[in-house]
């Protein structure tokens, strides 16, 4: 509501400023006019003067409306500020904020103390850094036997190929 009326006041003020400039321009043209143009310029000046007066009235209305809204808002604020129920809740909220700030300070102090002492955590249930270990082997022996058998076969074929190449080189 406040924003709407403040925008309306600004708009009315801008329109009035533009109308005043147009009126001044019409007045300048009237003063500099020749005799045969004087009647049309006089009409333009009169219209501009009427338009300025209308815009001034509109601006005054908008300003009065703005003042009325501001008074209503201030009365609402006073009413809320004087309500005992709201005052009690405000006190509760204030104490909660102070308690939260104190809790943050205490937690920060604990954290600094832990960093100085070299501890990483004070939570006894926190996860520890540990290398995972396989506690039982299910189906892994077969894979290991196959891997070792394949390696032996590969070694045999390589040594046989090397022997064949040596024999061929000797011949």
Q: How far is CA 13 from CA 10, 20, 47, 57, 58, in A?
A: 5, 10, 19, 11, 9
Q: What is the pLDDT along the chain (171 residues), one digit of tens a residue?
A: 888 989 999 999 999 999 999 999 888 888 887 777 888 888 888 898 999 999 999 999 999 999 999 999 999 888 887 888 888 988 999 999 999 999 999 999 988 888 888 766 666 677 767 777 777 766 666 666 666 666 666 655 555 555 445 555 554
Give the pLDDT score at 143.
Answer: 62
Give the pLDDT score at 168.
Answer: 53
Alpha-carbon 39 to chain mean position: 61
Give the pLDDT score at 66.
Answer: 93
Give the pLDDT score at 164.
Answer: 47
Alpha carbon distance 49, 30 (integer Å): 13
Alpha carbon distance 146, 157 (integer Å): 16
CA angle at 64 for the pair 63 and 70, rounded to the nearest 5°? 90
């Amino acid at each position: 509501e406040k924003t709407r009326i403040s925008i309306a006041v600004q708009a009315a003020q801008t329109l009035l400023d533009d109308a005043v400039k147009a009126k001044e321009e019409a007045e300048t043209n009237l003063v500099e006019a020749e005799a045969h143009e004087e009647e049309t310029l006089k009409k333009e000046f009169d219209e501009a003067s009427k338009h300025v007066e209308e815009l001034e009235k509109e601006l005054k209305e908008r300003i009065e409306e703005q003042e009325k809204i501001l008074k209503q808002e201030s009365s609402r604020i006073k009413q809320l500020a004087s309500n005992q129920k709201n005052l009690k809740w405000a006190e509760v909220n204030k104490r909660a904020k102070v308690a939260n700030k104190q809790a943050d300070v205490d937690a920060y102090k604990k954290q600094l103390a832990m960093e100085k002492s070299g501890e990483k955590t004070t939570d006894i249930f926190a996860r520890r850094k540990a290398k995972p270990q396989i506690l039982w082997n299910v189906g892994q022996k077969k894979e290991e036997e196959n891997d070792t058998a394949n390696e032996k076969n590969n070694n045999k074929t390589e040594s046989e190929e090397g022997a064949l190449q040596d024999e061929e080189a000797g011949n």
